[in-house]
Amino acid sequence: MPLDSKIPSGPMAEKWSKHKQDSKLINPKNKRKYTVLVVGSGLAGSSAAATLAELGYQVKCFCFQDSPRRAHSIAAQGGINAAKNYQNDGDSVHRLFYDTVKGGDFRAREANVHRLAEESINIIDQCAAQGVPFAREYGGGLANRSFGGAQVSRTFYARGQTGQQLLLGAYSALNKEIARGSVKMYPRTEMLDVVVVDGHAKGIITRDLVTGKIESHAGDTVLLCSGGYGNVFYLSTNAMGCNVTATWRAHRKGAYFANPCYTQIHPTCIPVSGDYQSKLTLMSESLRNDGRVWAPKNAADCGKAPHEIPEEARDYYLERKYPSFGNLAPRDISSRAAKEVCDEGRGVGPGGRGVYLDFAESIQQFSQKTIAERYGNLFDMYERITGESAYKQPMRIYPAVHYTMGGLWVDYNLMSNLPGLHVLGEANFSDHGANRLGASALMQGLADGYFVIPTTIAPYLVTQSPGSVTTSHPEFKKALEEAHARTSRLLNIKGKRSVDSFHRELGLLVWDKCGMARDRAGLTEALQRIPELREEFWNNVTVPGSGEAANPELEKAGRVADFMEFAELLCLDALNREESCGGHFRTEHQYPDGEAKRDDENYSYAAAWEYTGDLANPILNKEQLTFEEVHLAVRSYK
């Protein structure tokens, strides 16, 4: 099927205003006849649910956590970008747009990114008006900090917990609408499937995680705001519950999954300490404003305490390799540089997988008090986890899976190729290309929810007669039966291995073969082993307890079963893409100095995979990327 991205015509800077002007409207009286189902309550889900309810739509919102405030957007630390140019340092919508397209290694859709940069300004206004306590200057105006991949200071922040504060803002807007009766909230409720009626997404199947009850919900459109798939690697900075189920189930029902191989590895995380490890903890990228990254020049020094290694024996490799961006080089580049250093045997800490992030110079320059004011909570967190104080010795850091740029394919209206299915935030593929810049995830989630979908949902809904499909339709009955059957199948395998043991094995395999660096041999091997592991899972997993009550093991089993299928597509996509770009680094494709080598002639497209029923043979659909504004170039941060 040809992919129509529905990019509006006209000059780049006018596309979005023109599109808003041309979009059909629904009158207020008719809006309340439409029901919108929102899956997920993070920044994208909460902001969309609240805003659509304000407009008059009937909204049902679902989250698996016990409160919408706990969605994983809460954990974002560093900040949110906006082209406000409050610093008078030359920032503009165009510059934010340009930085984001370049940061994404020229694999994003220009028109979407430009819209994102335009809306960034409105997001800050909206959040400030909600009472989000952004950091401020003494004069009362908003403060900014710098982030990776940019030479202007455009990041707004709330101490080290910008995600929590923005989510609490969106959650408060959601609460306002719940109180008004315009949003019905379903916490502790997980989506198990999408229901498709006559080729349109018209409902979902859910499981109540307290009672175990499996139910149907019908609506006029479905919004998936269910986040990314980073937990396919088992160890990641994602919350334990983050999963691919909502998007994967939609994929199985016809929605194309785009660019799954674009996974972001965050350079500054606390290294793995043992095999009991359940997750990895991020140390905000903002630390790189004041910390210097280094490793010993000589492998022989790795066992020494850091203070015993003299200045001349230290390799500040980011400053050396990327003099103009230095420690603020983008995430993919910084991560790979750390891996190279460790591969050369110059890593520090347990297993030699770590480099230093050193604050000694900044503490000397500004005082420990100033550093504590900026990053105190991060230093405390580091000490709780490692038992070491970063005021006294450098932090040990290593890259970890953090964010996924790939996701369900959407057009300019954020609608997937499956009509009626809209996808927002990290769950879609649209804005970050092959690599996301720091402080841009919060921006995208809120832009999609507050400002894009409220406009772009109408063109679909006007074509639909509201409430025309109800849960009495046979497709709902069928989907409900399938969900029941799958649950009882999982409960009745009664094998020997726990769900976690399978998840861990899958994660290690995918990290090893499809992590920071990938090659044909490794991916081919993974593609052979994943189906074997999946088969063992379905024959040998054990899920204790019953389906008729709270059962966390059953929840995990369903999610891991979907990761087992998704992992294969991830590796297939990585194998197909014979180039290196952003978060996707194929060792066969690099310049002599180790930099990623893109192939614009052959791979300047978004790979949108179509489910065929045969997991090993999905159909590849291509959306060719065209660049009108940004000149394609080798992405250099030197």
Which of positions 306-335 make contact with other proteins (CB under 8 A)?
none
Of 10, 199, 351, 552, the residue at the interface with other proteins (CB under 8 A) is 552
Answer positive or negative: Cα dihedral of 202, 205, 210, 213: positive
**Could you give the residue numbers annotated as active site?**
331
What is the nearest approach in angstroms of other proteins to the Cβ of residue 68? 8
Strands (E), 447-501: none
Q: Which of 4, 22, 89, 125 binds other proteins (CB under 8 A)?
A: 125
Site string for other proteins, 365-404 (x = CB under 8 A): ---------------xx--xx-x-----------------
Of 98-106, 131-139, 287-295, 423-431, which part binds other proteins (CB under 8 A)?
131-139
Single out the residue of 553, 599, 600, 610 in contact with other proteins (rule: CB under 8 A). 553
Question: Per-residue contact track with other proteins, 435 to 464, x per CB under 8 A?
Answer: ---------------xx--x----------
Of 445, 367, 371, 373, give the one whose Cα is nearest residue 159.
Answer: 373
492 part of the interface to other proteins, by CB under 8 A: no
From candidates 498, 533, 547, 632, binder to other proteins by CB under 8 A: 498
**Which residue of 25, 462, 549, 620 would you call a contact of other proteins, by CB under 8 A?**
549
448 contacts 492 by C-beta, under 8 angstroms = no
Q: Can you tell me which of 8, 78, 230, 241 binds other proteins, judged by CB under 8 A? A: 241
In DSSP terms, 80 is beta-bridged to 156
Q: Are 415 and 460 in contact (CB under 8 A)?
A: yes
Question: What span, in angstroms and rounded, lies between the C-alpha atoms of 502 and 553?
Answer: 12
What are the tokens at 314? 């230290």
**Interface mask (CB under 8 A) for other proteins, residues 248-277, using x and -?**
-------------------------xx-xx
CB 203 within 8 A of CB 62: no
Q: Does 352 bind other proteins (CB under 8 A)?
A: no
Strand partners, 621: 608
In angstroms, the CA 264 to CA 82 distance is: 21
Minimum Å distance from CB 300 to other proteins?
24
Residue among 161 and 263 whose Cβ is closer to other proteins: 161
Contact range with other proteins by CB under 8 A, out of 317-325, 426-434, 472-480, 547-555: 547-555
Q: Which one among 3, 142, 313, 632 touches other proteins, defined by CB under 8 A?
A: 142
132: which 2 tokens?
A: 């989000």
Site for other proteins in 556-615 (CB under 8 A): none
For the chain, the straight-line distance linking the first and the last C-alpha, in angstroms and rounded, comes to 41
Q: In angstroms, what is the minimal distance from the CB of 261 to other proteins?
A: 26
Dig out the tokens for 113 from the structure: 């990114």
CA distance to 68, 363, 375, 473, per residue, from 284 (Å)? 23, 18, 9, 48
115 binds other proteins (CB under 8 A): no
Query: How many CA within 13 A on the CB side of residue 83?
Result: 19
Closest CA to 7 of 412, 282, 348, 333: 412
Q: Restricting to residues 206-225, which ones interact with other proteins according to CB under 8 A?
A: 210
CB atoms within 10 A of CB 602: 10
Shortest CB 135 distance to other proteins, Å: 7
- What's the rounded Cα separation, in Å, for the pair 275 and 405? 28
Question: How far is residue 52's CA from residue 447's CA, in Å, rounded to a whole number?
Answer: 13
Nearer to other proteins, 168 or 328 (CB): 168
Binding mask 11-50 for other proteins (x = CB under 8 A): ------------------------------------x--x
Q: Which of 27, 26, 30, 10 is nearest to 18 (CA)?
A: 10
Number of residues that bind other proteins (CB under 8 A): 82
State the nearest-atom distance from the C-beta of 153 to other proteins, in Å: 15
What's the CA gap between 474 and 479, in Å, rounded? 9
